Amino acid sequence: MSAGLICALDTADLGELTALAAAVGGEVDLLKVGLEAFAAHGPAAVAAAAEHAPVFLDLKLHDIPTTVAGAARAAAAHGAAMLTVHASGGPAMIAAAAEAAPETTVLAVSVLTSLDDTALAAVGQPSAAEQVPRLAALAVGAGAGGLVCAAAEIAAVRARVGQAPAVVVPGIRPAGTATDDQARPATPEAAAAAGASHLVLGRALTRAADPAAAAREIRASLPPRSPTR
């Protein structure tokens, strides 16, 4: 079995989101509703996407544990199959989210894929190679069902948390395409081979002339995952 595909519906236009969800929903494993769409339309964005595939609600929650627990509970009630929180919120916050939404896979975001080591140093943070595995272990220990990290850190994350947790990898760019705002991108094939459980694809699908065909082509290119993954 190869890595699962997640299509990012990154738009504030509900009509466009609905059309993209309908076009690609049958060819991917989840549809990502992010902060832009949720800020514009709230639960209606989740409902529109959920008509076509399970929803990965990418809100990157980061607040005190009680507030995050309430938000996670609400997200689960709206039908989120996956939900992101920031690992840097700490173990109590992560545990609160996981306990409040036991049927939803809570994913802890380690270091945004738009940040490189220079940007991390500017805000007083260690390198991604050091920070990501540490946050991964903290998050899984607190009850997270998986992590979000760049492809370059997959091996180190797997070494710290094993093969069971989900490892969702954004910043995916097919070979020969622009990296846009991603500082640590990877091709779908490389991320899948490294041990990603899910790949997040945005422009590669949403800007394609035929998003469904693009998803099928990417899925066909992926190597099968090892039985231990």
- Residues identified as active-site: 60
* First-to-final CA distance of the chain: 9
Q: Where are the alpha helices (DSSP H) in 165-223?
A: 188-194, 203-206, 211-221
The answer to whether 133 and 108 are in contact (CB under 8 A) is no
- Other Cβ atoms within 10 Å of 66 Cβ, number: 12
- Report the alpha-carbon distance of residue 115 to residue 93 in Å, rounded: 23
User: What is the dihedral sign for C-alpha 203, 208, 211, 215?
Assistant: negative
Q: What is the DSSP letter of 170?
A: -
Check if the beta carbon of residue 204 is closer than 8 Å to that of residue 174: yes
Distance CA 39, CA 58 (A): 11
